[in-house]
Structure 1
Amino acid sequence: SRFLSRDVYDRLPSTMEKILNRKEFRPYVRTMGINIFDLPDRVVDEERVAEHHAIIITNMYPEALEREEMQLYLMIIGRMLEAFMPACKVEYTTVDAICAARNFRCHTYRIIEKGWFGIFEREDEIAGQQYHPISIPELKNGETVTVTGCNLIHKKDLPVSAYTDAGLIEYMDTAGLGTVATRTGILQTLIDRKYVRYSGGYIIPTRKGLYIYETVRGMKIADPALTSGWETQLAGMEQGKLTQEEFLEGA
């Protein structure tokens, strides 16, 4: 889950005070700009905690970590801090121009207030594939400008890259398929049943998998919303918020 229960949230200030006082974490604290004893509670949602709350640090500092392990620990701390920081304010600009009867478009952005972006400065999180941090002059609608140069570039479209383990599990998370505890097992089941296989570091469908896909494509059972909806309802049954009869009536 990406949320915390209220009891975990209430213990965070004392945990953060103990851990973040260490010298290796001071750069994060300076970047935060928030009071750890008055943390925003927007990450608290009892209904969406599911089997386990979001991954956070404990009040025990890990000793004798390898370099890679410490990097992972720092990533968890940084991501946790991002969740409590102010919004990153970004200005996006799209410029449409016509030259020699051809249409041109430019996407650019600039950061107005860093907010959570100041921790890791992950530009892909705010820019995507279209926008680039290039500087453009101030322009007005309908303005005519002078072309100072041009060139022609020939490119080829490549097929969309296949999923890696991490990429597929991230997609399953976004689509609401499975849970944190079951997604890896679901992927292994697909491999064991020979619906997908590894090709290098990527996961690709087998002929058997493609046959199954063509068979169920368009059916309700192939809709991710069906599975994610059932997951939510089954969690509700586990918590006593939904009866078995109510689930079966809506299935």
Structure 2
Amino acid sequence: DAAAVINDKKVTDHHAVIPTRNIREADLSALPVGERTILELVALRLLCAVAPPYIYDETSVTVDCTGAEFTAKGRTVKQPGWRALDAACRSSMKNAEPDKEAEDKALPELTEGQELPVTGAAVKEGKTTPPKHFTEDTLLSAMETAGAKDMPEDAERKGLGTPATRAGILEKLVSTGFLERKKSKKTVQLLPSHDAISLITVLPEQLQSPLLTAEWEYRLGEIERGELAPEDFMAEIT
């Protein structure tokens, strides 16, 4: 039942991309491979949204060994639900990426306070890697949840911009010379320009915070819905 996942009352700037009934009479084989794959992925997402839920039991264990804590998680699938449909459809699509979410192995039954034998130990040498540069996709995702760590659970509604304006904000930053596109292997990264770095250097730290911008975006949304008077908002920021 599509009504379970589609609610016109919650639509803001535009609705989700969904297939229409015309797909039933269309000759999909006549479409270019890329366009057909996109259409199939959109249709698959709608089918997964209305499919039975993916149900599993998850176990989390904390083990103490000479004062050091170690944790382990296990997952046992009870009902594959929509993920079975997703995996089956993706396996038949050309160039479609498989589900990257790895399945956790099941843990044996354990009781609190149970003693476990140490069967082996090893030291693995490694090094941390710096965060990757933003791409347009990752930056758009970051804008959607800006300030989430410092906000309540509804922080996703306090992101930067709206679904309809975020891409335009990035384009404006590129056209005005604050962001630069740089191709690296198969991806295109977004890097700050010299002007952007200079601007951030002189701006007060509070104005640089995405948390502040996200909060203002939320307040502007309240004004749009008639829940907050513009005068009250201006009084808060002056």
> In 2, distance between residues paired with 1:221 and 1:248?
23
Deviations 1:26-58 (A, max 9, x none): xxxxxxxxxxxx444353141x31121111101
Instruction: Give the match's secondary structure for 1:139.
Output: coil
Which position in structure 2 is the counterpart of 1:71?
37
- 1:242 and 2:223 matched: no
Give the letter aligned to residue 20 of structure 2: T
Q: Is the 8 A contact 2:219 2:233 kept in 1?
A: no
Residue 159 of structure 2 is aligned to residue 159 of structure 1:
no
Q: 1:147 to 1:67 in 2, by over 3 A?
A: same
**What residue number does 2:14 align with?**
52
Q: Is the 8 A contact 2:140 2:166 kept in 1?
A: yes
Match of residue 204 from structure 1:
191
**RMSD of the TM alignment (CA)?**
2.9
Deviations 1:58-78 (A, max 9, x none): 111243112222221111011
Q: TM-score, normalised by structure 2?
A: 0.70
Matched, 1:95 2:58: no
Q: Do the aligned partners of residues 153 and 82 (structure 1) sit closer, same or farther apart at CA in structure 2, a change above 3 Å counting?
A: same
Alpha-carbon spacing, 1:91–1:45, altered in 2? closer, same or farther (3 Å): farther
- Residue aligned with 1:212, SS: helix
Name the aligned partner's letter for residue 229 of structure 1.
Y
Q: Sequence identity of aligned pairs in percent? A: 24
TM-score by length of 1: 0.67
Q: Which amino acid aligns with 1:178?
A: G
Distance in 1 separating the partners of 2:208 and 2:190: 25
- Distance of aligned partners of 1:144 and 1:76 in 2 relative to their CA distance in 1, 3 Å threshold: same
2:79 corresponds in structure 1 to: 113
Q: What one-letter code is carried by the residue in structure 2 that aligns with 1:210?
A: I
Partner Cα distance (1:186, 1:55) in 2: 21
Tell me the secondary structure at the aligned position of residue 96 of structure 1. strand
- Taking a change above 3 Å as real, the CA distance of residues 49 and 57 of structure 1, as seen in their structure-2 partners, is same
Unaligned runs of at least 5 residues, structure 2: 88-98, 147-158
- Tell me which of 82, 88, 104 is aligned to 1:133: 104
Establish whether residue 226 from structure 1 lines up as the match of residue 215 from structure 2. Answer: yes
The 8 Å contact of residues 180 and 191 in structure 2, kept in 1 or not, is answered as yes
Aligned twin of 1:22: none
Cα deviation for residue 101 of structure 1 reads: 4.5
The one-letter amino acid of 1:242's match is G
Q: Which runs of 5+ in 1 are unaligned?
A: 1-37
**Mean Cα deviation higher: 59-68 or 73-82:** 59-68
Give the AA of the match of 1:213.
I
Change beyond 3 A, Cα 1:157–1:70 = same
